[in-house]
A and B are shown apart, each in its own frame.
Chain A
Amino acid sequence: MGINQLSTLEHILITTKVEKVMNWSRATSVWPVTFGLACCAIEMMAAGASRFDFDRFGAGIFRATPRQADLMIVAGTVTYKMAPIIKTLYDQMPEPKWVIAMGSCATAGGPFDSYHTVQGVDKVIPVDVYIPGCPPRPESLIYGFMKLQDKIMTSSLADRYKDIFEEVG
């Protein structure tokens, strides 16, 4: 009987690391903040709409406020006038947070090598995943998002806060 009990326990018990569970739950319910800046935002909307259905990846709930979001998809051109606002919004997001730079504008300035365009959002905030394209197709966005999920799954809490711990000593 004892043996029997053990096998049922085996079926209902999963042993894993806390970190892994947390990563798994984070990776499958990433809530992006709506942050459409330019043309790429239209493709982001298309990714969320009927044909591509971003919801399948647990990322369909676009939040209007950064305080409820984990992911910022910077979709579009970052300008000199907009850069401080992006920084403010990023600072308002709770940890842990991720950033996807969507499109060549957010990656490196894209076709706009001009006086008012910041050449890439990484001059303003740190970026996790870059998606090239002008605009990237919704499939590319989804692929980039899956890469981000991989990144979240392999991340460890210790790594994330290592710098801070070291600084504090």
Chain B
Amino acid sequence: MFKNEEMEINLGPQHPSTHGVLRVKLRLDGETITHCRPMIGYLHRGVEKICENQTFFQGQVWTDRMDYCSAVANNLGWAEANEKLFGITVPRRAQYIRTMLNEFNRLASHLIWLATHALDIGAMTVFLYAFREREDILDMNEAFCGSRLTTTAFRIGGLREDLPPGFEKMVQKFLAKFPSCLEEYENLLNENRIWKKRTIGVAKLGAEDAIAMGVTGPVLRAAGVPYDIRKAFPYAAYAEMDFEVPTRTEADTYARYLVRMDEMRQSARIIQQCMDGMPEGPVMAKLPKILKAEVNEVYHATEAPKGEIGYYLVGEKGSSNPYRFHVRAPGFINLQSLPKMAEGGLIADIVAAIGTLDIVLGEIDR
């Protein structure tokens, strides 16, 4: 009786809700998505190739620019992978400072996610609030390493400098006000009818599918799998920290939102513990001026705000460049599950699905 027509539309690569330059090809039946194919590579910058031509010390600069919302987490993975390659032990104070900065970075990344995700769904105010707190964190980044976004925070073997004077005060000031800020966001969103309508039951991804696709991070934890590398394979100073891994079982966009909000609380807790238990001592291990590798390959994974970020390094005997440098980017693998989330849903919900994955194209395309 009615004509049954499918329509193909193209979302991106220049679209305000694609968080950069993602392109998604959609086939629609009415308003329902029948087929979804993400196309990436619009920000492919050849990081892996460049880093293979740089020395071990230099390569960190490019890791900043991969996941630019959480540069410190990338730096940490990079530094630890190299330390594993060379067998370097890092002083304890450096480990604590690294942990603390990493958690600050998690806060900043989640705040950006919250701001943009809420903006996509239509809540503008949260954007302004979240960026207000993020600026405080960037101020601390700046005090520590002189840069707001592209931090290059660590060195192989430790840190370049100790904490600057007055840093502790900044941290305490931030920690004192942050819980009330979180409450502010939650007041705006938790019981917001539009927010709930657009997130509850949207873009579901069950635990089995998630594991099969290799999805990690908050998306996996919102499906009820308590897999957090900070607990499962502890690195830096996480083995000495007391924190919980928040999980939910609903596996939808709202559950992921709640997981991330809880994660921010836990991060604040870890920062407090780092501040309280900060050991004294040097912050840099004793190293030769030039690092020369032996034949070795390592894969080191850390828990970035988006999921498992893994560095695969191959060392060549006597060479100070990595022979092979590869990044297992959490966004790249997580984005693969977008068709699973979006197919069968409404076209309007793909915006929520993309937002909830918390993708950053810089690390997806590298």
Contacts and interface: CB of A to CB of B under 8 A. Distances in A.
B29 to A, nearest CB: 26
B348 interface: no
Given A42-B68, A79-B43, A135-B150, A50 B132 contact: yes
B361 interface: yes
A47 to B, nearest CB: 10
A117 B9 CA distance: 28
Given A42-B112, A51-B135, A36 B44 contact: no
Most buried by B among A42, A111, A112: A42
Interface string B323-366: 00000000000000000000000000000000000000110000
Interface in A6-48: 34-39, 41-43, 45-46
Interface string B37-49: 0000111111101
A94 B128 CA distance: 30
Kindly state the interface size class of chain A when it binds its partner. 20 to 34
Interface in B111-170: 112, 115-116, 127-129, 131-132, 134-135, 138, 148-150
B16 interface: yes
A37 B128 contact: no
A42 B70 CA distance: 11
A165 interface: no
A114 B50 contact: yes
Given A79-B44, A115-B46, A85 B13 contact: yes
B68 A49 contact: no
Contact of B42 (A42, A62, A81): A81
A37 B20 CA distance: 5
B62 interface: yes
A89 interface: yes
A79 B45 contact: yes
B15 to A, nearest CB: 7
Most buried by B among A39, A51, A77: A39
B89 interface: no
Contact of A37 (B43, B50, B64, B129): B43
A113 interface: yes
Contacts of A42: 68-69, 112, 149
A82 B150 contact: no
Given A34-B16, A117-B45, 7 more contacts: A62-B16, A79-B44, A79-B45, A81-B42, A85-B13, A89-B14, A114-B47
8 tightest Cβ-Cβ pairs between the two chains A and B: A114-B46, A49-B131, A39-B68, A50-B132, A112-B45, A82-B42, A64-B16, A51-B135
